Structure 1
Amino acid sequence: MNQNPRADVKAFFDPETWTFTYVVFSGKGSPCVVIDSVLNYDPKSGRTSTRSADEVITFIQAEQLQLSWILETHAHADHLTAAPYFQKILGGKIVIGNHITNVQNVFKGIFNLDEQFSIDGSQFDYLLKEDESLAFGNLSLKALYVPGHTPACMAYEIGDALFVGDTLFMPDVGTARCDFPGGSAQTLYRSIQKILSYPDETKLYMCHDYPPTDRPVAYYTTVGEEKKSNIHVHAGISEDDFIQMRNKRDATLDMPNLILPSIQINIRAGHLPEPEANGNSYLKIPLNML
């Protein structure tokens, strides 16, 4: 684990998308990072709002924090990122793993995006490689490549914690789906084992929680609890068992409600498509795709 000073973690929950956004810092007035922000989106009207982002921004301003990095664990399929809004208000650089180029390449074809859409990741300010570190104040983060849910997923190690994106969920929820383009149950299993090789006391911060009972929403657990109790991948579950379970389960799942707008926005680092002649931006909806 990184030998960081103690990091403060503030979690914000967006109930519409079951998403957690994190601010990580080291006391009042320190540099900070934001992980997995949310831009609210109404699919009925096509309108966005900054309600969830503004709650985070209010906290950052109240604590007099300086935003260094705006991090994405992956190109989310269930919510839009608010990264450009954070950057406009607070500064900072927008960061994602360098394998985002693979995701851009796939979805440029799926959405038949025009030639001006670049697939080199240049929409983002910085592309992180595996094991690369970024500093913010007296803290630093290390990038951990954990593909499987998507081919570009990153977890972020900060101090005694990992921010795992969609790779793992709370023990009673299990693991992420692998049926998006470039996903792989085998790859996800191996990425999870990488995470579970950390010390048992390591905190794991979730990107989502979907409580299967009436328990309260929870945003972190530990490596030890996942190894003991995760319903999909606890200790003793073999790779073959996991692959069989994950593929069977994925075949029954509906697509996320916001996948079509989310992917088109998130592969652009949260920027809207260029406005057309009438000043409006538009997204595409593929029909009866072959």
Structure 2
Amino acid sequence: MDDVTIERAAALVKATCAGKARRPVIRSFFDEPTFTASHVVYDPETREAAIIDSVLDYDPASGRTSSASAQAILDFVKSESLEIVWQLETHAHADHLSAAPWLQEKLGGKLAIGSGILEVQDVFGKIFNAGTRFARDGSQFDRLFTDGDSFRIGGIDAIAVHVPGHTPADMAFVIGDAAFIGDTLFMPDFGTARADFPGGDAHRLYRSIRRLLSLPDETRLFLCHDYKAPGRDVYAWETTVGAQRASNIHVHDGVTEDAFVTMRTRRDATLTLPNLIMPSVQINMRGGKLPEPEENGTRYIKIPLDTL
């Protein structure tokens, strides 16, 4: 079956690499406590920009939030005189709280995620017993992208690519010659994302990865996380399709779907849940907005016992 979305994305990458379309400028910010890479991508001529996968600091011991990580992004945006037009989330993260609402309040931009968030809201709304006040229709976001949707950042074309498997809502964003791929892939020496969360599926993850790896080899890939593979001393979050196809330890060219699923399933069975999954999913399924205060004026995070 023809994949029109990937064909369009590949054409965009090729046009950008050939100098026929404007190349985005990207500045990344790494939050070491959550091992998360956030990205600011912008058109150098119009100065329009998007912020992708921002982080709100959270101390699980005290339950306190802070905005130091997001402030670094805000300071950069101001210093470069950028106009934020998008606050993009690749998925509802399970390892950090999103700072998108905080940044949106100060910088603007439409908050967007993949339309698969409706499935995430339904599943985790039940797990957290969120009640009828929690809307499960994606209305917490300004736009829900579906596969193949187009948008722009200044004069730079962008295409949303649905890449489920890690979660049902995972979306990659191909912007010029760069693809922001969330948790589908890590650096080639570290492999791929897990697929054992509710709604995750290793078969779907493999197929999503192969879609991404059918983009031109020169496509720049920007990741959401890095954990420093054994023998590597520095964090890294940028690679290419060519590098992933040649040497990703889990899914390089020649690895079959059955082999990948067997590996991924066995590996996932050994993994513990992310430290911040309880607050992260509970808040991120709400578009990063904190729970409403209760009668005493305090906000609370629920911890379902013996469930996950």
SS in structure 2 at match of 1:142: strand
Q: Letter of the 2:264 partner, please give it.
A: R
CA RMSD of superposed structures (Å): 1.1
The equivalent of 1:289 in structure 2 is: 307
Which is worse superposed, 207-216 or 108-117?
A: 207-216
Asked if 1:135 corresponds to 2:156, the answer is no
8 Å CA contact 2:165, 2:205 repeated in 1 = yes
The 5-angstrom pairing of residues 117-266 of structure 1 reads 117-212=134-229, 213-266=231-284
Q: Which structure 1 residue ranges, 5 or more long, are not aligned?
A: none
Q: Give the superposition deviation at 1:280.
A: 1.0
Q: Which structure 2 residue ranges, 5 or more long, are not aligned?
A: 1-9, 16-20
Q: State how far apart, in whole Å, the 2-side matches of 1:265 and 1:30 are.
A: 30
SS in structure 1 at match of 2:41: strand
Q: Give the superposition deviation at 1:80.
A: 0.4
8 Å CA contact 2:114, 2:170 repeated in 1 = yes
Q: Letter of the 2:133 partner, please give it.
A: Q
The equivalent of 2:18 in structure 1 is: none
Q: Letter of the 1:214 partner, please give it.
A: R
Q: Letter of the 2:228 partner, please give it.
A: P
The equivalent of 2:95 in structure 1 is: 78
Q: Give the superposition deviation at 1:58.
A: 0.1
8 Å CA contact 1:29, 1:64 repeated in 2 = no
The equivalent of 2:293 in structure 1 is: 275
8 Å CA contact 1:29, 1:63 repeated in 2 = no
Q: Give the superposition deviation at 1:257.
A: 0.2
Q: State how far apart, in whole Å, the 2-side matches of 1:275 and 1:134 are.
A: 35
Q: State how far apart, in whole Å, the 2-side matches of 1:279 and 1:227 are.
A: 52
TM-score normalised by L of structure 2:
0.92
SS in structure 1 at match of 2:97: coil
Count, aligned residues: 290
Q: State how far apart, in whole Å, the 2-side matches of 1:232 and 1:162 are.
A: 20
Q: Give the superposition deviation at 1:215.
A: 2.8
Q: Give the superposition deviation at 1:131.
A: 0.6
